[in-house]
Structure 1
Amino acid sequence: MKSFLKEVAGEIALKFSNFKDVVLILPGKRPAVFLKNELLSLNTVTTYAPEFYSIEAFVEKLSGLTPVGDLQLLFELYEVYKKETPPGDTESFQHFSRWAKILLQDFNEIDQYLVDYNQLFAYLSSVKEINHWYVQKEKTELQKNYIRFWNSLKRYYLHFRKRLLEKQIAYQGLLYSEAYNNAKKYLEEHPEKHHIFIGFNALNSAEENLIQEFLNSGNNHILWDIDETFLADNEHDAGLFIRSYKKEWHYFKDHDFKIVSDHFKTPKNIQITGIPKTVGQAKYAGKLIEDIHRKTGNLERTAVILGNEQLLTPLLNALPSAIGPVNITYGIPLYQVPVASFFGALFHLMENTKNAGWYYKNVLHILSHALTRKLLSHKGQDYAERIIEKMRRENIVFVSQTYIKALVHESLHEICDHIFTDVGQRHVNTVIKKCISLIHQLRTRHNDNDMYLEYLYKFHELFNRILYLNTTYGSISDMASLKRVYRELLRGETVNFRGEPLKGLQIMGMLESRNLDFENVIITGVNEGILPSGKKQVSFLPFDVKMAFNLPAYKEKDAIYTYHFYRLLQRAKNIYLLYNTEPDALEGGEKSRFLLQLTTRKQPLHHVEEIIASPEISQASKKSVRIKKNPDVITRLKTIASAGFSPTSLSSYIRNPVDFYYNAVLNIKAEDAIEETITAKALGIIIHGTLEDLYKPLEGKWLRETDIVQMRKTMHPLISRHFARVYREEQWRTGKNLIGFNIVARYIQHFLTLELGRLKQGRSVKIMHIEKNLETTVDIPGSAPGAVTLKGTIDRVEEVDGIITVTDYKTGKAVQADLEIPTEEAIVNDYRYHKAFQLLSYAYLYTKNYAPENPVEAAVLSFKNLKSGYLKFGKKDGNGRNAEKTAPIDREMLTAYENNLRALVLEIFDPQIPFTEKGTDA
C-alpha cells in the first residue's frame, strides 16, 4: 500500500519535470524529510530540488517578522502594561505573568482567526458590564476595577502589536495575520513559483485565506490527506474541517479535490488493550516491539505514538536490546534531568533565608544532592557529608555561611559563596551569574560524561538567556520572580536525541506523525483527557464570545485529535491501541471514545480484539519474621526496663513484637522528613501544647465559666505560637497548613463548648493535673530484671463531682467500643483494645503515685468524635448491646491489670519466645 507521501511524490513528479520553481509547504519539518526521500527515489536524473517549508517557516518568510519565545513576549507585554496602567494599579512581573500568559494566548487566537478586534473587545466589555449590572445599586470599587480591566484589554492589544511591529518581532498569531496581509505582494513578486500545500487539516482563518489566495492565483495547488470514509460521513469528526473546505472554497468548483484515499476500509488487525498505569503501558509496548521485530526482522515500518510525553523514559527503559536503530522525535524534558533538581533546590534555599541563616532541612536538601556532593568534594573528601554529620551531631537548626565555610577546604569557599549566598548578595543578575559559574564548576567535574555536558550546555544557555532578558527589560526584581522565569523557560526546553530520521523504529508524539504512514502502529494513552485532550481550554474569552466570533472551542479541538488518530489508522495494517485501566487524577479518564467508535462502528474487514493485560503475580508465601532473644537483646531490654516502659511502647509489642524490636530494642526511628503540610503527629503536638497552655494556670482550681470565656479569647495566639514551633511562619499561613490551623481552632473551640456545657449542667470540675509525668516500679518476680519501671504522661487529671477522672486526649478517631473490654486479659491479648490498655495504664500510674480516696475513672476525649463527649473505660459483663459495664476502676481491676502487665513483661524477657511478626503465616 502506498504511503500518502509516496502518492504526493508521484503527483508532483507527474506535474513537474523540473523542481526549480516548486515550493512545497507541509504541516511540519518532519514530513518534509520523508517527502524529500520519496522524491529522490523517483528521480533518476540530476535536477533542482524543490523548496521545502513547514507552514510556520513559510508564514514567517511571508510576514517578514521574527518569532520570539513566550517569555520575551511576556516581558514586552509587561512594558506595555506598565505604560498603559495607572502606577498605583500595576502588579509585579511575578503576579502579572500568571494571567498575562492567558492574555497572550487570546491575542494569538484573535490574530490567527483574523477577528475584528474592535467588535470583539466592545462585545466583551458589554458582556462584563451586563454581568455586573444591578438595578439602583452602586458598583463596588472591586467591580469597577474589574470592569476597568476588561475595558483596558483593547488598549493592551493595540499597543502590544504596535510595539512588536516596530521591533519586527511577533507572536505566532501576528506572524499569520501579517503573512496574509503580505500574500498578494509576494505572489506578484514571484509569479514563476508553483506552491503546493500538502497534508493540511485544521486551518485557522489566516491560513485558510492565505491558501485560498495562493490557489486563486493560478499556479498553486493543494493536496489533502483524507479518507473517503471520513469525507463522506457528515457525522464523523475526522473529516469535519476538510468537508467544510471542500464545500465552501470556490477553488473546488473548478478543480479536483485531491488526494482522497480509500484505505480505512481495507483489512486491519486492531488490538485494544487495557493496562494498569502508564509504566505498564510502556512495558507492554516494549513487548509488542519485540514481537514485531521477531516476526518481521526489522522495524522500518513501525511507529510508537505516545499519547503522553511522560511515557518516553519508561518506554526507553522497556525497549528490547538489539532491535536496530531507533529514531525519537521527542526530547527529554529539561526539568527531568538531575541538573534541574539541583537548581530547584538552590532557588528554594535562596528563597528561604533568615537573618540567622538557613533552616537546616533546606540545607540538608541541597547538601544531599549528588551535584552538590561533586561540587563540595576535594581530593576524595566529601565535605557535604561532613557538614551533614556535624549538623546532626550538634543539632543545628539554623545554619550560617560562616559555619559551612569553616568545615570545608579553603579551595571550596567560592563555591560555598555561590550556593549559600548571603542576603546582601541577592541581586537577581548576581544570582544568575553565580548559577552560570556553578555550571562551569560542574563542567570541569563532568568532562568525561557527554550526557552531563549536554545537560550543562542547555542550562548554560538557559541562564544566559535569563541574564540577557533581565539586562534588557529589568523586570525580574526578586528571587520569586527569578524562580518563576526559570521554571517557565525550563518547561519549554528539551535535550534532543540525535539519530537518522528515516531508519528504524519511530517514537513520536501525535502531532509529529502528521502525513506519515506506518504498517505497524502502537498508540499509548488512548484515554479521555489525553486522546482527545478534553475541555482544558484556559482563556479570558467566554464560550459565548468565542462562538460569536467563530473562534475554536472544544468541539473543534476534539476534531483535530480525531483526525490525527484516524489518519494514523488509514494505511496501517496492524494497530495496537493501549489505554490505562487505572488512571490517576492527572492522567486522563476512562478509555477513549475513539476505542468505542472502533468497536461500535466497526468496518467489515477490521478484526478488532479487546483484551485486558495484567502483570503476572507470583503467589510467594511470606514467612513471618522471627527474631531470637540473644544475651545482647536481653541486656538491651534490661536497660529499657530500667529507664521505663511507656504504655505506647508496650502497645506496640501487643500489636507486633517485631515492630517493638525495631523501634524499642534497636532504636530504629524514621528520619525526619520535610513536612510541607500538617501531619497527624503535628496536629496532636499543637493541640496538646495549646491545651496545656490554656489549662496549666488552673491546676488545683475549680473550673469556672469565666475561665472558658477567657480561654476562647486567648486560644488563637496560643495556637499560632505552637504552629510556629512546628512550622516556619510563612509555611503555615497559606495552603493546607492554613486549613490545618483552622481545623485545630475548630477542635479546641468545640472542646471548650463541651467544657462549658458541663459547667452549665451544674457539674463541679476541679483541674488537678495537666500533662503530668508519672512513673512507678512494678515488681516482676522471675523476670531477668526483677522489676521494671512504668512511666507515662497523663494529659489531664480532674475531679468531677467527687470522682477522679484520668483523661487521655486523642486527636485521632476513638469510639466507645474501643474502651469497653470483655475480659481483663483482652487488653494484652487483643490490639483492638490498645486504647483501653493505655488508659488503664495511666489510671494505674495515678493510683500508684497518689493512692486517692475518691473513686477513679478513666476516659478518652477524641477530637474527631467530640459529639460523644468523654468516652469512659469500662469492663462489660457479657456480650451484646444489653451487656452492663462498670466504669469505676477499683482495686480488683488494678490488680488484674498488674497481673496482666507482669505476664506481658515476662513474655518480653523470655529468651525462649522470639519476637514474632503478627499478621502473616509461619
Structure 2
Amino acid sequence: MESFIEEVVATVLKQNDDVTNTLFIVPSRRAGNMVRSALSQKLNKTIFAPEIFSIEEFIAHISGLRAIDATEQLFTLFKVYQEKTPKVNQESFAVFYGWAQTVLHDFNEIDRYLVSHKEFFDYLSAVQEINHWSSENNQTDIIKRYLDFWETLPVLYKAFCTKLEKQGKGHQGIIYRKAADDVEFYIENNKDKQHIFIGFNALNTSEQHIIQALLSAGNTSVFWDAEEWFMKNKKHEASYFLRAYKKEWKYYQTNPFLAVSNNYPVQKNIRSIAVTQDIEQAKLVGQLLQQYTSSKELRNTAVILNDERLLIPILNALPDHIKKVNITMGVPLGQTPTAALFDQLFLLHTHVSQRGYYYKQVVAILQHQAVGKLLGSNLERIKKTIASQNYVYFSEKEIKTMILQNTESDIVASLFTSWDDNPNNAIKLCLTFIQGLKESLLHSDHKEALALEYLFGFYKVFNQLKNLNDTYAFIEDVATLRRFYMDVIGSHTLDLRGDPYEGLQIMGVLESRLLDFKNIIMTSVNEGVIPAGKSTNSYIPYDLKLTYKLPTFREKDAVYAYHFYRLLHRANNVDFIYTTSSQGIGSTEKSRFILQMEIEGPHDLASSVATSSFQVAPYTENTILKTPEIISRLREIVQSGLSPSSLTTYIRNPIDFYYKYVLRIKEREDVEETVAANTMGTIVHNTLEELYKPYVNVKLTAQIIEGMILKIDAEVRNQFATEYGLTQIAQGKNLIIYQVVCRYVENYLQLQLSSLKSGDTIVVRGLESNLNVSFKKEINFKGKVDLVEERNGDIRIIDYKTGKVESRHLSPANWEDLLDDTGKYEKAFQVLMYAYMMHKKTPLALPISAGIISFKNLKSGFMPFKKDKSTDITEETLSSFSEILDQLIAEILNPDIPFAQPT
C-alpha cells in the first residue's frame, strides 16, 4: 500500500510532471523530507527541485517577519511592561514571570485566530469587572490592582506587537496575522507559482484565510488525508475539522474535496497492552521490536511516544539487532544526565544556610558522574574525610580547601564558589565550569561524544541567559534565574542525527503528521496523556473562547483524535501500551480512544496485560560452611582475643559474626546529622572516665562528687568536640542530645552523692580497665571494664548502658539461657565475662557482684547479675560460666557447624 504522500505526489505529477514552480506546503519539516523523497522516486526526468515548506516556514515567508523564541519574547514584554506601567505599580521580574508566559500564550491565540484585539480586550476587561463587583464603592487595593491589570493588557499588547514589528520580528501569532493581512500582495507577486497543501487538519483562522485566498486565486490544490469511515460519522471527533471545512468553505461548493480514502476499515492487527509502570513500557517496546528484524521492516516501523520522558529508557531497551535509529523529536535537555548536575548546583546555591553548604547536597554534586570523573580516586578520599570529620555543613573555604588538598582540580572547587545571590555570578561560574569540563573531556583517554553533546546544549542555554541578562538585566536573584533556567531547558532539545529514510523511527505524536508506517508501537496511551484533558494555560474564560471561536479543550481533543486515528489509516500492526500505575485521577485508565475503537469497530482489539518475567528462587537457609581458610581465620581471631561483644554477636546471629569478624566488613561510615546512639554512649563513658580519673583508689566524698557535678558541662563539651564536633550541637536535635548527656551524667553523680550522704563508703578501684587474659591454649579474651568500685567493702564490676536495661535481663533461670539467640540475656553474659576475665587476671576475693547501670533506668540503680535469687558471683558461678564459654568457643571453631541464620 502506498503512503498518502506517495499517492499525492503521483497525482500531482500525473497532472504536471514539471513541478519546478510548485510550492509544497506540509505540516512539518519531517513530512517535507518525505515529499522530497517521493518526488525523487517518481520523477522520470531531471528538473530543478521545487520549494518545500513547513506551514510555519510558509507563513513566515509570506509575512517577511523573523520568529523569536519564547525567552526573547518574555524579556521584550517585560521591557514594554516597564515602559507602560507607572513605577509605583511595577512588579519585579520574578512576579511578572509568573503570569507573563500565560499572557504571551493568549496574545498568540488572539493573533492566530484574527480576533479584533480592541473589541476582545474590552470584552475581557468587562467580564473581569463583573466577576469582581466593580460597582462596589469600597473596592480593596487588591481588586483595584487586579482590574487595572486587565485594563493594561491592550496597552501592553499593542506596544509589544509594535516593538517587535519595528525590529522585523514577531511571535507566531504576529507572524500569522501579518501573513493573513499580506496574502493578497503575496498572490499578486506569485501568480506563476502553484501551491500544493498536503495533509492538514486543524487550521487556525489565519491559515484558513490564507489557504482559501490561494484557492480562490486558482493556482492551489489542497489534499486532505481524510477517511470515509470518519467523514460519514458526523459525531466522530477525528473528522471534526475536515467536515467543517468541506461544509463551510465556499471553494468546496463547486470543487471536489481531495482526497478521501477508505483505508481505515482494512483488516489490521491491533492490540492494547497494559503494564504496571512507565519503565516497563520501555522494556516491552524492546521486546515488541524483536519481531522486526529486516531493514525493510524497521524502515516501516515507528515508535510513537505520547510521553517524551520515555525516550532515553526506550533507547536503552532497544534490541541489539537495531543499528540505525532516527529520532525526530530530539532528546529533551532536561532529561540528560548533565541536567541533574546543574539541578543540584542550583539546589546547593539557593538553599545555602548561614551555617554553610549542606553536606548531602555537596556529596550529590561530587558523586555526579561528570564531577566524579574529574576527581577520580580522590572522590572516595574526600567522602571519607567528610564522614570521619562529621561535616554536616561546610563553609565555602572548608569545602574548597578539602577538594584542593585531595586534588588539583580548580574546576571542581569552582562549583562551590558562592554565587552571592547574583545571577550574573551564577551564569559566569556555570560557563566557566562547562568550559573546564569540556577541556577535560576532550583530553581524556576515552572521548565521550554524547557527554560533549549534552554539555554543548547547556553551553548554549547559559550563553543565551547571559546575553539576555546582559541586554536587559531583569533577573535580579538566583531563585528567579533558576525558575527561568528550568523553563528554558524544558523547551530545548538535542537533535540527534539519523537517517529519516532508514532504520527504526522514533517520534512524538505531532512529529508523525502526514507519515505512514506499517508497524506502529504507541506508548503512554493513557487518559490525560492522549488526549491531554481539560487543563489550559490561559486567562481567557471558556465562554469568551466560544464567543470568539478560540480553541478550547474540545478542539484540542479533536486534534489529537485525528492524529491518533490517522496513524492507523495505512498501518497493518498496531500496539497500544498504557500503564496502570496510580499517579493521579484518571491516570490509571487507558485512553478513551482505545475504548472508542473497542465499541465502534470496525476492528477487534486484542487486550492483554504484560508482566515482568521473574522466577522466585526457592527458600534456602542462609548458611556458610567453614572452609579451611575460615577455620584458619577463626583461630587468628581467638588468639588475638575474643571480646564480650563479639561473642554476644555470635550468639545473636552467627552470620553477623562471620561478616564483621571473619570477613572484617565494617559498617559504612556516614555523616551523623544527629548524634547516633553509639556516639552518645561513648561521650557518656568518656565524660565519667575523665571526671573519675583523679580519684582512683581515693575514698569518695560528697565534696568530690559536688566538684565533679560543677565540671559536667565543660567535660561534656570537650567530649562532644572530640567525638562529634561542637559546631553541630548549637541547635536542633543535637542540642537536645547534648542536654540529655549532661542530665544523664548529673543524675548518676547525684545518685552517688545520695549514697554517700546516706553513709555508704565508695572507692573507685578500676576505671576503663583493659583486660587481656588467656582462657585455654591459643584462646584469649579481651575487653574493657567501665568501672570497678568498692562499696561498703564489697567489689562491684559495673558496665554503663545509655540504653534501657531492666533487672530481668540479668536473671537467667538456667545457664543455657545465656546462649539464647534472642539476645535477651546478653547483658548478663557480658557482665559475667568481665567478672571472669578480672578474676582470671588477678584473683579477686570472692564473692563479688557484677551488673549494669542503665542511664534510662537510673531509678533502679545498680542492677546485678542474679542466679537463683543470689547476686553473689562465686567460684562455682565462674566455673559454670566457664563451661558455657567452653561450649560456645568449641561451636565457633567446629568445622562441622556452619554459620547459620537464626530461625
Query: Scaled by the length of structure 1, what TM-score is found?
Result: 0.72
- Residue identity opposite 2:279 in structure 1: V
- Residue identity opposite 1:916 in structure 2: A
Q: Does 1:567 align with 2:566?
A: yes
Q: Give the aligned partner of residue 581 of structure 2.
A: 582
Which of 442-451 and 179-188 deviates more?
A: 442-451
The verdict on how the C-alpha distance between 1:853 and 1:522 changes in structure 2, with shifts beyond 3 A counting, is closer
Q: Does 1:27 align with 2:36?
A: no
Offset at 1:354?
Answer: 6.1
Q: Of residues 599, 613, 616 in structure 1, which corresponds to 2:613? A: 616
Offset at 1:501?
Answer: 1.1
Q: Give the aligned partner of residue 257 of structure 2.
A: 257
- Residue identity opposite 2:363 in structure 1: L
Aligned length: 781
- Residue identity opposite 1:530 in structure 2: V
Q: Secondary structure at the match of 1:618?
A: coil
Q: Give the aligned partner of residue 442 of structure 2.
A: 444
The verdict on how the C-alpha distance between 1:635 and 1:150 changes in structure 2, with shifts beyond 3 A counting, is farther
The verdict on how the C-alpha distance between 1:850 and 1:546 changes in structure 2, with shifts beyond 3 A counting, is closer
Offset at 1:623?
Answer: 2.1
Q: Give the aligned partner of residue 623 of structure 2.
A: 626
The verdict on how the C-alpha distance between 1:786 and 1:645 changes in structure 2, with shifts beyond 3 A counting, is closer
Aligned mates of 1:135, 1:186 — CA distance in 2? 49
Q: Give the aligned partner of residue 176 of structure 2.
A: 176
Q: Give the aligned partner of residue 99 of structure 1.
A: 99
Q: Give the aligned partner of residue 57 of structure 1.
A: 57
Q: Which runs of 5+ in 1 are unaligned?
A: 686-723, 733-739, 746-767, 798-804, 807-824, 858-889
Aligned mates of 2:131, 2:818 — CA distance in 1? 65
Q: Give the aligned partner of residue 756 of structure 1.
A: none
Q: Which runs of 5+ in 2 are unaligned?
A: 681-725, 737-745, 753-766, 770-774, 786-798, 808-815, 831-848
Deviations 1:303-357 (A, max 9, x none): 2212222222232233223345332213222233333333333444444556776
Aligned mates of 1:459, 1:772 — CA distance in 2? 65
Offset at 1:201?
Answer: 0.5
Q: Secondary structure at the match of 1:152?
A: helix
Aligned mates of 1:918, 1:414 — CA distance in 2? 52
Aligned mates of 2:525, 2:413 — CA distance in 1? 50
Offset at 1:130?
Answer: 3.3
- Asked if 1 retains the 8 angstrom alpha-carbon contact of 2:63 and 2:178, the reply is yes
- Residue identity opposite 1:304 in structure 2: V
- Asked if 2 retains the 8 angstrom alpha-carbon contact of 1:427 and 1:478, the reply is no
Aligned mates of 1:681, 1:257 — CA distance in 2? 78
Q: Give the aligned partner of residue 916 of structure 1.
A: 900
Offset at 1:852?
Answer: 14
Q: Give the aligned partner of residue 535 of structure 1.
A: 534
- Asked if 1 retains the 8 angstrom alpha-carbon contact of 2:305 and 2:522, the reply is yes
Q: Give the aligned partner of residue 364 of structure 2.
A: 365
Q: Does 1:524 align with 2:523?
A: yes
- Residue identity opposite 1:205 in structure 2: T
Which of 384-393 and 167-176 deviates more?
A: 384-393
Offset at 1:260?
Answer: 0.4
- Asked if 2 retains the 8 angstrom alpha-carbon contact of 1:429 and 1:470, the reply is no
The verdict on how the C-alpha distance between 1:853 and 1:127 changes in structure 2, with shifts beyond 3 A counting, is closer
- Asked if 1 retains the 8 angstrom alpha-carbon contact of 2:802 and 2:856, the reply is no
Taking the TM superposition and a 5 Å limit, the aligned residue runs for 1:239-250 are 239-250=239-250
- Asked if 2 retains the 8 angstrom alpha-carbon contact of 1:264 and 1:571, the reply is yes
- Asked if 2 retains the 8 angstrom alpha-carbon contact of 1:359 and 1:399, the reply is no
- Residue identity opposite 1:608 in structure 2: L
Q: Does 1:46 align with 2:41?
A: no
Q: Give the aligned partner of residue 311 of structure 2.
A: 312
Offset at 1:223?
Answer: 1.1
Q: Give the aligned partner of residue 80 of structure 1.
A: 80
- Asked if 2 retains the 8 angstrom alpha-carbon contact of 1:229 and 1:264, the reply is yes
Q: Does 1:472 align with 2:456?
A: no
Q: Give the aligned partner of residue 272 of structure 1.
A: 272
Percentage identity across paired residues of the two chains: 34
- Asked if 1 retains the 8 angstrom alpha-carbon contact of 2:638 and 2:780, the reply is no
Query: Scaled by the length of structure 2, what TM-score is found?
Result: 0.73
Q: Does 1:793 align with 2:802?
A: yes
Q: Secondary structure at the match of 1:570?
A: coil
Which of 511-520 and 134-143 deviates more?
A: 134-143
The verdict on how the C-alpha distance between 1:319 and 1:100 changes in structure 2, with shifts beyond 3 A counting, is same
Q: Secondary structure at the match of 1:267?
A: coil
- Residue identity opposite 1:592 in structure 2: S
Higher CA-based Rg:
2
Q: Secondary structure at the match of 1:225?
A: strand
Aligned mates of 1:453, 1:786 — CA distance in 2? 58
Aligned mates of 2:661, 2:54 — CA distance in 1? 68
The verdict on how the C-alpha distance between 1:81 and 1:918 changes in structure 2, with shifts beyond 3 A counting, is farther
Aligned mates of 1:773, 1:209 — CA distance in 2? 96
- Asked if 2 retains the 8 angstrom alpha-carbon contact of 1:23 and 1:53, the reply is yes
Q: Give the aligned partner of residue 601 of structure 1.
A: 600
Aligned mates of 1:6, 1:155 — CA distance in 2? 49
Aligned mates of 1:81, 1:657 — CA distance in 2? 74
- Asked if 2 retains the 8 angstrom alpha-carbon contact of 1:432 and 1:467, the reply is no
Which of 325-334 and 89-98 deviates more?
A: 89-98
- Asked if 1 retains the 8 angstrom alpha-carbon contact of 2:63 and 2:175, the reply is yes
- Asked if 1 retains the 8 angstrom alpha-carbon contact of 2:403 and 2:413, the reply is no
The verdict on how the C-alpha distance between 1:644 and 1:89 changes in structure 2, with shifts beyond 3 A counting, is farther
- Residue identity opposite 1:454 in structure 2: E
Q: Secondary structure at the match of 2:273?
A: strand
The verdict on how the C-alpha distance between 1:794 and 1:277 changes in structure 2, with shifts beyond 3 A counting, is closer
Offset at 1:893?
Answer: 12
Taking the TM superposition and a 5 Å limit, the aligned residue runs for 1:378-417 are 382-396=377-391, 397-401=393-397, 404-405=400-401, 408=404, 412=408, 414-415=410-411
Offset at 1:454?
Answer: 2.7
Q: Give the aligned partner of residue 546 of structure 1.
A: 545
Offset at 1:257?
Answer: 0.4
- Residue identity opposite 2:607 in structure 1: E
The verdict on how the C-alpha distance between 1:117 and 1:439 changes in structure 2, with shifts beyond 3 A counting, is farther
- Residue identity opposite 2:25 in structure 1: I
Offset at 1:106?
Answer: 1.8
Taking the TM superposition and a 5 Å limit, the aligned residue runs for 1:85-484 are 85-133=85-133, 138-293=138-293, 298-323=297-322, 325-353=324-352, 358-376=357-375, 382-396=377-391, 397-401=393-397, 404-405=400-401, 408=404, 412=408, 414-415=410-411, 418-422=414-418, 427-428=425-426, 430-446=428-444, 448-484=447-483
The verdict on how the C-alpha distance between 1:387 and 1:854 changes in structure 2, with shifts beyond 3 A counting, is closer
Aligned mates of 2:129, 2:320 — CA distance in 1? 64
- Asked if 2 retains the 8 angstrom alpha-carbon contact of 1:418 and 1:435, the reply is yes
Offset at 1:667?
Answer: 7.0
Q: Give the aligned partner of residue 71 of structure 1.
A: 71
- Residue identity opposite 2:32 in structure 1: A
Q: Secondary structure at the match of 2:326?
A: strand
- Residue identity opposite 2:542 in structure 1: F
Aligned mates of 1:126, 1:60 — CA distance in 2? 34
The verdict on how the C-alpha distance between 1:769 and 1:245 changes in structure 2, with shifts beyond 3 A counting, is farther
Q: Secondary structure at the match of 1:56?
A: helix
Which of 166-175 and 349-358 deviates more?
A: 349-358
> CA RMSD for the aligned pairs?
5.3
- Residue identity opposite 2:181 in structure 1: N
Aligned mates of 2:729, 2:542 — CA distance in 1? 43
- Asked if 2 retains the 8 angstrom alpha-carbon contact of 1:525 and 1:579, the reply is yes
Offset at 1:22?
Answer: 1.4
Offset at 1:368?
Answer: 2.5
- Asked if 1 retains the 8 angstrom alpha-carbon contact of 2:523 and 2:577, the reply is yes
Aligned mates of 2:267, 2:856 — CA distance in 1? 91
The verdict on how the C-alpha distance between 1:238 and 1:904 changes in structure 2, with shifts beyond 3 A counting, is farther
The verdict on how the C-alpha distance between 1:492 and 1:576 changes in structure 2, with shifts beyond 3 A counting, is same
Offset at 1:643?
Answer: 8.1
Which of 457-466 and 567-576 deviates more?
A: 457-466
Offset at 1:383?
Answer: 4.6
Offset at 1:633?
Answer: 7.0
Taking the TM superposition and a 5 Å limit, the aligned residue runs for 1:797-808 are none
Offset at 1:52?
Answer: 0.8
